[in-house]
Structure 1
Amino acid sequence: MDAGQIVEPPRIVACRAGDGWVLHMDGVEPTYVRRLDGAIEHGRILMEAAKVPGAEQGAVLKIDLGDELNQRVTVSTQATVDAHKAQVAAAAELRRTAAALNEHGLTGRDIAHVLGVSPQRVSQLLNDQQARG
């Protein structure tokens, strides 16, 4: 390996086994852990002792629950990301709408009634919109 070569962190694949997890790593015999919260550190220590390249820099944990559960995890985490994006977009639209209603002469209290939010929230929306330009 060249001195300037970047080494990817080694992977640890955790598979459910009984009440815990079996960690599969290159260059190391599979090992059992009870919980995932220490799996990366445990695997990294084992790989470092076995002189697996890059282990001293850390490791990447991949959790393998089987095809069906892996797919469900992927779908649900993507739904969470999509919901966050939608929430950010909705908040931006709410700020723009509050500003448009304000420009049309509605009072803060009237804007609050129209949008179904508190007058304090209208104040925040208008201040946020002004700050964002």
Structure 2
Amino acid sequence: MSAMDLPRVVAHRIDDGWKLVMEGLEPAYVPRLSEAARRGRALMEAARVPGADRGVQVSVDLGEELNRHVKASTQATVDAHRAQLKAAAYLRRTADALKAQGLTGRDIAHVLGVSPQRVSQLLAARDSSG
């Protein structure tokens, strides 16, 4: 069962806590967002909502503007991670090419602006990946 198949709890920020909205049930209130899943699930199980015994899906609604900022910042983090992986792969290929030209590990480190230990890691990654 995927999270999309679970009953949904939508948490809205209000005053000093969170209002939990669940289809077919009265709203509930919790002081901390970390309590939303437990409380929403307990209420849904008590109301015999199908699937609640397996869990609930909690989503946060902070309003259009903040939701957009959250989504954009989360995507920026994912994009940065992907760029980091791509840069590391490129650095490994470059270290390999420099090694193939006969440069020493220390020379490669100097050329790439990394430590000799990092060069050892880069070259070892090549050796272990085949």
TM range, normalised to the smaller chain?
A: over 0.9
Query: May I ask how many residue pairs the two structures share in their alignment?
Result: 127
The answer for the alignment partner of 1:121 in structure 2 is 118
Displacement of 1:98 after TM fit?
0.5
The answer for the alignment partner of 1:61 in structure 2 is 58
2:41 partner amino acid: R
The answer for the alignment partner of 1:92 in structure 2 is 89
SS for the counterpart of 2:27 is strand
The answer for the alignment partner of 2:24 in structure 1 is 27
Q: Structure 1 runs of 4+ off > 6 angstroms?
A: none
User: Could you list the per-position Cα deviations for residues 33-64 of structure 1 after superposition, in whole angstroms to 9, with x for gaps in the alignment?
Assistant: 01111210110011000000100000001100
RMSD: 1.0
Separation in structure 2 between the aligned mates of residue 94 and residue 38 of structure 1, nearest angstrom: 44
The answer for the alignment partner of 1:111 in structure 2 is 108
Separation in structure 2 between the aligned mates of residue 114 and residue 98 of structure 1, nearest angstrom: 9
For normalisation by structure 2, the TM-score amounts to 0.95
Whether the 8 Å CA contact 1:112–1:122 is kept in 2: the answer is yes
Separation in structure 1 between the aligned mates of residue 121 and residue 5 of structure 2, nearest angstrom: 45
1:132 paired to 2:107 = no
Percent of aligned pairs with the same amino acid: 64
Segments of 5+ residues of structure 1 without an aligned counterpart are 1-6
SS for the counterpart of 1:29 is coil
Segments of 5+ residues of structure 2 without an aligned counterpart are none
1:45 paired to 2:71 = no
Separation in structure 2 between the aligned mates of residue 109 and residue 65 of structure 1, nearest angstrom: 52
SS for the counterpart of 1:74 is helix
1:73 paired to 2:70 = yes
1:93 partner amino acid: Y
